[in-house]
Amino acid sequence: MTLIEGHRSLTPDAGIPVLDIDPYADATLRNPTPYYTALRDAGPLVYVPHYNVLAVGRYEETRQTFSDHETFVSSRGIGLNDFNLEKPWRPPSIILEVDPPDHTKTRKVMSKALSPKVVRTLMDDFLATAEALVDRLLEQSEIEGVADLAEAFPTAVFPRAVGMKDVNPRHLVDYGAIVFNAVGPDNSPRRQAMSRAAEVGGWISAACARGRLTDDGLGAQVYAAADAGEITSDEAGMLVRSFLSAGVDTTVTGIGNALWCFSQNPSQWEALKADPSLVRPSFEEVLRYTSPVHTFLRTANIDTHIADHPVPEGAKIMCVLGAANMDPVKWGDPDVFRVDRRPTGHMAFGAGIHGCVGQNIARGELEALLSVLARKVARIEPAGDAVWRPNNAIRALDRLPLKLIPN
Amino acid sequence: MIKVTYIQPDGREATVKARPGDSVMQTALNNNVPGIIAECGGSMACATCHVYVAEAWQTQAGARKDGEEDMLDCAMSEMRDTSRLSCQIKLTEALDGLRVYLPEEQG
């Protein structure tokens, strides 16, 4: 069988609108807004001939498709290739790329390790680290927001939370970017990622071994679940790997995007400073407005329908979370960044059983950082153009020159 | 027609109309009922949509879902026998008249 981007050739039903845009073109990844609009306008389900896949981008259909884990499975890969037909580049994640009942078991271990209760115990370190970092940066006339703040903070606190003895900040950030680029087509970001996968992946696997972890971190909790017989020791290593693929680059992106939002919307920074209770809701709005994870795919595991259009078994469906988060039908004025919006139900952390299991810790990190910044920084001003970094699943900044003006 | 009554810690009640298939959490948000934060939007990941189901409705509301108990254990207000995550209670005609109590603290 000839595969297209690692999945079976699909002949779409004639009634499905065609969207002749390359969602993974460099220009689209750098500025996805026109594509999001075209996708939603074309229909509730569209065919994307560029990669021979279907796509959803309206809020309702995206949410339904993403949440229906029985019909639209994750075990066949959340990228363009179908794991039933093509061997993935690494052993599949046993929490992200898996269905119930196997998923239920690993999800339980992870959601316990990352529960709100656990995150509360980490907040003192998050706050102290944020305080020291922000104080140091306030002494500089200008900062590079991505390296100096967005990368510096999670690579300081997260390995400590996991209990890692080995810390290589560059590898930690890049591993996530590699994993997320891998879900795209055979394009330049994916090829670049794959060229570094062996080196970075090897370092990551070694760093996840039990002997390389302290006995009091999140990693140790996962290995304790292995001791209790809930999972095997190998599975514990795989789940610690999941902390690192999903827990560093994503929060780096969330922080960078937050700084970008506030640098572009000074009135919203003032609103946040005036009412610190908006710190947590403001991060939700950053997530909705910028969708750090912009696209994951699902595979139809049976012949089914989306929005009354037939969808054959084996079809890959792009779920464009970024488009759903900007759907005017759902949000009214999605193009406006408002810290008081409280956008419950946004799709940035996904939805359903595969909804981001680390979302509590991400919120904890951002709450710490934004609350310290709001207390100490009068204004966050652009000091040059923001440059986006094309990635097949992540909408992240490459560079963000900023001036932090102290109170 | 499905109606749900939310009772605040101070005893104030709000009875609202629900769409079948919506969760008790979503119905509260749709109707601006205070006391439900629902930070995670229904992925059973945050424990900020905690409610106490009125005892008369416990059976109808159903049993806790797999993993729900672990999350309830993380809630800010104490977990009781009647505790549920309201995102996990889907409304049907059989739940018309449902009464739920909101906890003191949510997030």
Distance from CA of A10 to the nearest CA of B (A): 31
Distance from CA of B82 to the nearest CA of A (A): 21
A400 pLDDT exceeds 90?
yes
Q: Which residue of A66, A344, A347, A360 to mutate against B (max B Cβ within 10 Å)?
A: A344
B72 lies within 8 A of chain A by CB = no
Mean per-residue pLDDT, B55-78: 92
- Out of 1.10.580.10, 1.10.630.10, 1.10.10.10, 3.30.930.10, the CATH code matching A3-406 is 1.10.630.10
**Tokens 């104030």 map to which residue?**
B12
Nearest to A343 by CA among A352, A331, A360: A331
Query: What's the confidence (pLDDT) of residue A273?
Result: 98
Overall residue count recorded for chain A in this entry: 407
Model confidence over A280-306: pLDDT tens digits?
A: 999 999 999 999 999 999 999 999 999
| Residues B53, B34 contacting (CB under 8 angstroms) | no
Residues in chain A with CB shorter than 8 Å from the CB of B39 are 280, 284, 344, 359, 363
Distance from CA of B97 to the nearest CA of A (A): 25
Query: What's the confidence (pLDDT) of residue A285?
Result: 98
> Residue A98: phi, psi to the nearest 5?
-155, 155
A251 lies within 8 A of chain B by CB = no
Model confidence over A111-164: pLDDT tens digits?
A: 999 999 899 999 999 999 999 999 999 999 999 999 999 999 999 999 999 999
DSSP reduced 3-state for A263:
helix
What's the Cα-to-Cα distance from A76 to each of A61, A69, A92, A301, A330, rounded to whole Å? 20, 12, 9, 9, 30
Model confidence over A304-314: pLDDT tens digits?
A: 999 999 999 99
Distance from CA of A77 to the nearest CA of B (A): 20
Q: Could you report the predicted ipTM of this complex, rounded to two decimals? A: 0.87
A123 lies within 8 A of chain B by CB = no
Q: Which residues have C-beta within 8 Å of that of residue A161, sequence separation ≥ 6?
A: A122, A125, A217, A218, A361
Distance from CA of B25 to the nearest CA of A (A): 11
Nearest C-alpha in A relative to B28: A344
* Whole-number average pLDDT of chain B: 94
DSSP per-residue letters across A238-258 = HHHHHHHHHHSHHHHHHHHHH
* Strands (E) located in A129-272: 143-144
Go through the domains of chain B in sequence order and give each one's CATH number.
2-101 (3.10.20.30)
| Residues B40, A344 contacting (CB under 8 angstroms) | no
Q: Give the domain ranges of chain A.
A: 3-406
Model confidence over A221-274: pLDDT tens digits?
A: 999 999 999 999 999 999 999 999 999 999 999 999 999 999 999 999 999 999
Mean per-residue pLDDT, B56-72: 93
B100 pLDDT exceeds 90?
yes
Identity of the residue in A280, A353, A359 whose CB atom sits nearest the CB atom of B40: A359
| Residues A77, A92 contacting (CB under 8 angstroms) | yes
Contact A346 B41 (CB under 8 A): yes
Query: What's the confidence (pLDDT) of residue A372?
Result: 98
A351 lies within 8 A of chain B by CB = yes
Residues 10-29 (B) with a CB less than 8 A from some CB of A = 26, 29
Percent with pLDDT over 70 in chain A = 100
B40 lies within 8 A of chain A by CB = yes
* Strand B2-7, strand B98-101: pairing: parallel
| Residues A223, A109 contacting (CB under 8 angstroms) | no
Nearest to A77 by CA among A253, A306, A314: A314
B13 C-beta neighbours (distance < 10 Å), count: 10
Nearest C-alpha in A relative to B74: A117
* Strand A316-320, strand A53-56: pairing: parallel
Query: What's the confidence (pLDDT) of residue A2?
Result: 85
A1 pLDDT exceeds 80?
no
Mean per-residue pLDDT, A372-390: 98
* Cis previous bond, A17, omega within 30: no
Contact A344 B38 (CB under 8 A): yes
B9 lies within 8 A of chain A by CB = no
Contact A108 B67 (CB under 8 A): yes
Model confidence over A80-108: pLDDT tens digits?
A: 999 999 999 999 999 999 999 999 999 99
Residues in chain B with CB shorter than 8 Å from the CB of A344 are 29, 37-39, 41
* Interface A-B: count of C-beta contacts within 8 A: 65
| Residues A235, A95 contacting (CB under 8 angstroms) | no
DSSP reduced 3-state for A128:
helix
* Whole-number average pLDDT of chain A: 96
Overall residue count recorded for chain B in this entry: 107
A406 lies within 8 A of chain B by CB = no
Residues 195-234 (A) with a CB less than 8 A from some CB of B = none
Residues in chain A with CB shorter than 8 Å from the CB of B73 are 115, 117
Nearest C-alpha in B relative to A360: B46
